[in-house]
């Protein structure tokens, strides 16, 4: 077993020893006693990923009418080689995620160093001490065949283990609030039975003390309004029983801006869970529609983005039409339809499938191949072609590479033996494509480029002038705009410099 966890910046953090764990338990006891003496309730956030770590700060930042913190927050991250590094990094007041939102570093500094009411730990013992656990364990969908999402399934093994850990430690009056996006039926058919089983093993009467389980999904957008998308946004919630619902409402009302963004209560956790995956399936389907039409527009000389702007003027019915791009990435739209489709049979024993949603996932997953088709219109032979991909995160102005369509693009370019360089101002390491070095110096990334793909619309790329790009590449590279980042005027400048230009949905160029 590895003895250290390596952070994205390359720094190593030794995993805790049994002796250090014992000392940590004593520290947790002391901190919790001190915080309870101040009248604060104690919260644990299970999983300090892109949602969990910021949610923990939002909870810690919540104050009562007198301006005093309501909660003390223990953030918990397992002592694994892959992710333990987050614990010591957070405890220095530094966020473990990269974002363009200036509030992210501010809220970490405020809660960890100034208020001193948020601290990270890797010790499971922490769950014995808390009133609320917010579950933010990453739960993914497995798609065993590229472009065939209908074969996808959900492996609940790690999630079940995390819930079982809670069942072994929490008090019976502790609320377990599942914030992770889960297949419909998970709270009622997975979480509650595991907690009941562990309670019975501990001698807890589950009739008198039934597990308290609630579900409330976030709508986080880890970009320029990262923190606000958690705190200042609408929430849907429900619980497996009335007590769970009441405790969940109280907690969310204390933590979130419910005055401006009121809570929506649904009848059952099945409904809340279905709401999340249906919401994201709608968005995935919306995008898939525009990707199909982008190909059509390209073939008949139409700028789909101008068409989209014209359509969106129809307020109330069409103003939410999304846009085509390199493809769809991130933690939600790529998997949520798969989770729901899998749950129909696996958790509810139903026949049938969510055909439209699954078809949308397949369109979105394979969309990066269309960018390769655009490149091949100029360079039919990709072998030894030097391609620079600008942007490897899944969304502009953040460092989240999960399910990034740039990964598919790079992998398929390399299958055709293209020579690919990548750059991203927000990404230090690319864990999903570890063998791919992400260049931090854009000028080095551009050296020798025969093709430059604007894969992600980071603000930095908006300020990259055609003259500079052409000079640094030493060529007149093919320019491919996948994010509608480049204006018609900018594309005209590239053409005047001798570059060929292509764009997803940009038939007019």
**pLDDT tens-digit series, residues 454-505:** 999 999 999 999 999 999 999 999 999 999 999 999 999 999 999 999 999 9
Distance of alpha carbon 109 from alpha carbon 7, whole angstroms: 19
Q: Could you tell me if 219 and 70 lie in one domain?
A: yes
Model pLDDT, residue 184? 98
Residue 106 has pLDDT above 60, yes or no: yes
- Cα–Cα nearest to 422, from 406, 398, 401: 406
CATH number of the domain where residue 406 is located: 3.40.50.720
Model pLDDT, residue 98? 80
pLDDT exceeding 70 applies to what percent of the chain?
100
- Tell whether 301 is covered by a domain: no
- Tell whether 176 is covered by a domain: yes
- Tell whether 459 is covered by a domain: yes
Token pair for 247: 């405790």
> In this predicted model, what pLDDT tens digit does every residue of 39-48 receive, in sequence order?
999 999 999 9
Question: Average pLDDT, whole number, for the chain?
Answer: 95
> In this predicted model, what pLDDT tens digit does every residue of 315-356 receive, in sequence order?
999 999 999 999 898 878 899 999 999 999 999 999 999 999
- Tell whether 327 is covered by a domain: no
Q: Which residues of 480-493 are buried (b: 16+ CB within 10 A; e: fewer)?
A: bbbbbbbeeebbeb
As a whole number, mean pLDDT of residues 59-76 equals: 97
From the number of C-beta atoms within 10 Å of its C-beta (0-12, 13-18, 19+), residue 205 rates as exposed
Distance of alpha carbon 175 from alpha carbon 243, whole angstroms: 9
Distance of alpha carbon 38 from alpha carbon 34, whole angstroms: 7
Model pLDDT, residue 395? 87
What number of H helices and E strands is found in the chain? Answer: 19, 18
**CA separation (Å) from 87 to 28, 51, 122, 159, 417?**
14, 15, 7, 20, 40
The pairing of beta strand 153-154 with beta strand 141-142:
antiparallel
Residue 433 has pLDDT above 80, yes or no: yes
- Tell whether 265 is covered by a domain: yes
Q: Could you tell me if 254 and 381 lie in one domain?
A: no
Contacts (Cβ under 8 Å, ≥6 apart) of 49:
136, 138
Model pLDDT, residue 389? 98
The pTM is what?
0.90
- Tell whether 274 is covered by a domain: no
- Show which of 234, 269, 304 is a domain's final residue: 269
Region label for 77, one of left (φ > 0), alpha (ψ between -120 and 50) or beta (otherwise): beta
Using 50, 70 and 90 to split pLDDT, how confident is the model at 2?
A: low
**CA separation (Å) from 80 to 120, 250, 257, 283?**
14, 33, 34, 34
Residue 278 has pLDDT above 80, yes or no: yes
Distance of alpha carbon 492 from alpha carbon 74, whole angstroms: 54
Q: Could you tell me if 383 and 257 lie in one domain?
A: no
- Show which of 269, 286, 306 is a domain's final residue: 269
- Tell whether 215 is covered by a domain: yes
SS (H, E, C) 412-423: HHHHCCCEEEEE
Pick from 1-10, 65-74, 205-214: least confident: 1-10
- Tell whether 298 is covered by a domain: no
Distance of alpha carbon 398 from alpha carbon 51, whole angstroms: 13
- Show which of 235, 269, 303 is a domain's final residue: 269
Using 50, 70 and 90 to split pLDDT, how confident is the model at 115?
A: very high
Using 50, 70 and 90 to split pLDDT, how confident is the model at 222?
A: confident
**DSSP assigned state of 1:** -
Instruction: Write phi, then psi, for 227 (nearest 5 degrees).
Output: -65, -45
- How many domains are contained in the chain? 2
Q: List the domain range (segments joined by +) for residue 25.
A: 4-269
Using 50, 70 and 90 to split pLDDT, how confident is the model at 432?
A: confident
Type and span of the H or E element at 456: none
Cα torsion 370, 499, 490, 458: sign: positive
Distance of alpha carbon 436 from alpha carbon 221, whole angstroms: 26
Using 50, 70 and 90 to split pLDDT, how confident is the model at 262?
A: very high
Model pLDDT, residue 189? 97
Distance of alpha carbon 111 from alpha carbon 45, whole angstroms: 14
Using 50, 70 and 90 to split pLDDT, how confident is the model at 435?
A: confident
């Amino acid at each position: 077993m590895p003895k250290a966890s390596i952070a994205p910046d390359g720094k190593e953090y030794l995993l805790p020893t049994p002796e250090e764990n014992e000392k940590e338990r004593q520290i947790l006891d002391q901190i919790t006693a001190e915080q309870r003496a101040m009248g604060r309730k104690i919260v644990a956030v299970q999983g300090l990923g892109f949602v969990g770590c910021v949610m923990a700060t939002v909870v810690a930042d919540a104050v009562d009418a007198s301006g005093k913190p309501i909660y003390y927050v223990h953030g918990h991250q397992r002592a694994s080689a892959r992710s333990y590094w987050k614990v010591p990094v957070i405890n220095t007041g530094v966020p473990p995620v990269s974002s363009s939102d200036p509030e992210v570093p501010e809220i970490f500094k405020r809660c960890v160093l100034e208020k001193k009411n948020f601290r990270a730990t890797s010790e499971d013992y922490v769950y014995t001490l808390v009133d609320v656990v917010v579950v933010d364990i990453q739960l993914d969908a497995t798609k065993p065949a590229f472009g065939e999402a209908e074969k996808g399934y959900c492996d609940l093994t790690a999630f079940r283990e995390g819930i079982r850990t809670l069942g072994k430690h929490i008090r019976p009056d502790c609320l377990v609030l599942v914030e992770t996006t889960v297949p419909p039926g998970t709270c009622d058919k997975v979480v509650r039975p595991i907690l009941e089983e562990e309670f019975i093993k501990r001698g807890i009467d589950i009739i008198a003390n039934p597990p308290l389980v609630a579900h409330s999904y976030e709508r986080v957008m880890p970009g320029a309004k990262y923190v606000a998308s958690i705190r200042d946004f609408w929430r849907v919630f429900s619980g497996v029983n009335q007590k769970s619902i009441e405790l969940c409402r109280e907690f969310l009302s204390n933590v979130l801006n419910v005055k401006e963004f009121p809570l929506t209560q649904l009848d059952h956790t099945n409904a809340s869970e279905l709401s999340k995956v249906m919401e994201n399936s709608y968005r995935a389907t919306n995008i898939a529609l525009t990707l199909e039409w982008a190909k059509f527009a390209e073939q008949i000389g139409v700028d789909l983005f101008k068409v989209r702007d014209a359509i969106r003027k129809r307020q109330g019915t069409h103003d939410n039409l999304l846009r085509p791009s390199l493809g769809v990435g991130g933690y939600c739209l790529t998997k949520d339809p798969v989770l729901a489709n899998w749950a129909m049979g696996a958790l509810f024993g139903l026949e049938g499938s969510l055909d439209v949603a699954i078809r949308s996932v397949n369109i979105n997953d394979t969309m990066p191949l269309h960018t390769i088709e655009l490149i091949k219109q100029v360079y039919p032979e990709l072998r030894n072609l030097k391609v620079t991909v600008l942007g490897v995160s899944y969304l502009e102005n953040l460092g989240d590479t999960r399910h990034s369509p740039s990964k598919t693009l790079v992998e398929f370019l390399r299958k055709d033996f293209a020579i690919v360089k990548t750059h991203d101002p927000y990404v230090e390491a690319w864990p999903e494509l570890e063998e791919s070095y992400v260049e931090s110096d854009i000028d080095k990334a551009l050296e020798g480029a025969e093709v430059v793909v604007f894969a992600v619309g980071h603000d930095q790329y908006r300020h990259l002038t055609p003259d500079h790009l052409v000079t640094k590449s030493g060529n007149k590279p093919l320019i491919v705009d996948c994010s509608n980042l480049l204006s018609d005027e900018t594309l005209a400048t590239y053409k005047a410099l001798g570059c060929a230009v292509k764009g997803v949905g940009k038939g007019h160029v």
